[in-house]
Amino acid sequence: MAIVKNRSKRKRLKPSVIARRNKMASLIKRIIPVCFMLALSLVLLIALRAMFYRIPFFRIKEIRVKSSESRSDEKLLEFESSELLMSLRGKNIFKTDIHNLAKALRDNYPQYRQVIVRRIVPDVLEIDIIHRTPVLLIKSFGYYPADKEGVVLSPETDVDKQLPVVLGISMWARPKVGEHFDSTRLTLALDILRHIGDIDVMKKYVVRNIDVSNLRNPVVILDNGLEIRLGKDDMKKRFNKLEVILNDTEIDIMDLAYIDLRFKETVLGPR
């Protein structure tokens, strides 16, 4: 009896499949060298970083403090010799987190509005500090200077003797040094002070008080005793009216007891 062997026919691949396989093989051949180079670069980077962290050449030897004010004061000297800064000497300059350091310095020294820390390779940290400038005094249980953002400064801060004093804030309020004093009355006083700064002619006068005890009728009092009664709404419009009056050469401000801007027509009160 004859034995018939079944020969399996080899399946032939379609040209499109062969093309895809060839393309994939070509792609893999191109990717392998790239992956190798990336891995090598990563290893070199880690090794280089480890070298920078370990060699003494990059240890901090000097800390330079640059102030926005030319004068030196006790607080600045205290800042320069603070335990936090002194603890950095001898540490690796690259391991020092300059962003967290700047934040810690701002928290510890609220009298500085901005603290910027830079690395100067190989071994110097440079710190730029910008002082907060007091623009008014809050009369509360005592007198507290505050800057244009409403941040309270230490009562020991050197201030201009001609800074306006804000009246009308509760005597029981205890503003916390270094914090923003959250007060509607202080916000209003700062807004008034900004408008005053926009009027050139106001530079001839000294603002003695900003009385915000009545929020519906804040009053600016000049050093000559003149009262400027502002009213509540549309502060910009009221200050525009004030500017016209102050620039009027036929009006002698020294003869006035008050300027009332609360009404449609400005009222001038003689002494």
Identify which has the larger pLDDT, 185 or 78.
185
- Asked if pLDDT for residue 126 goes beyond 90, the answer is yes
- Asked if pLDDT for residue 33 goes beyond 90, the answer is no
- Asked if pLDDT for residue 189 goes beyond 90, the answer is yes
Average pLDDT over residues 33-44: 78
For the record, the structure tokens of 229 come out as 């009664």
Average pLDDT over residues 152-173: 85
Please provide the average confidence, as pLDDT, over all residues in the chain. 85
- Asked if pLDDT for residue 65 goes beyond 80, the answer is yes
**Can you give the pLDDT at residue 208?**
96
Identify which has the larger pLDDT, 184 or 156.
184
- Asked if pLDDT for residue 10 goes beyond 60, the answer is no
Distance CA 45, CA 31 (A): 21
Q: Which residue has the tokens 């009369």?
A: 139
Distance CA 171, CA 185 (A): 13
Confidence of residue 52 (pLDDT cuts 50, 70, 90): low
**Can you give the pLDDT at residue 257?**
95
Torsion of CA 107, 109, 111, 117, to 10 degrees: -80
Confidence of residue 55 (pLDDT cuts 50, 70, 90): confident
Q: Are the C-beta atoms of residues 134 and 148 closer than 8 Å to each other?
A: no
Distance CA 55, CA 34 (A): 31
- Asked if pLDDT for residue 103 goes beyond 60, the answer is yes
Q: Are the C-beta atoms of residues 108 and 47 closer than 8 Å to each other?
A: no
**Can you give the pLDDT at residue 81?**
86
Distance CA 117, CA 255 (A): 54
- Asked if pLDDT for residue 77 goes beyond 90, the answer is no
Q: Give CB contacts under 8 A, 24+ apart, made by 197-202.
A: 198/239, 199/239, 199/242, 199/243, 199/246, 201/243, 201/246, 201/247, 202/246
Q: Which domains does the chain have, with CATH numbers?
A: 59-131 (3.10.20.310), 134-270 (3.40.50.11690)
Beta bridge partners of 219: 211, 229
- Asked if pLDDT for residue 181 goes beyond 70, the answer is yes
In percent, how much of the chain has pLDDT > 90? 46
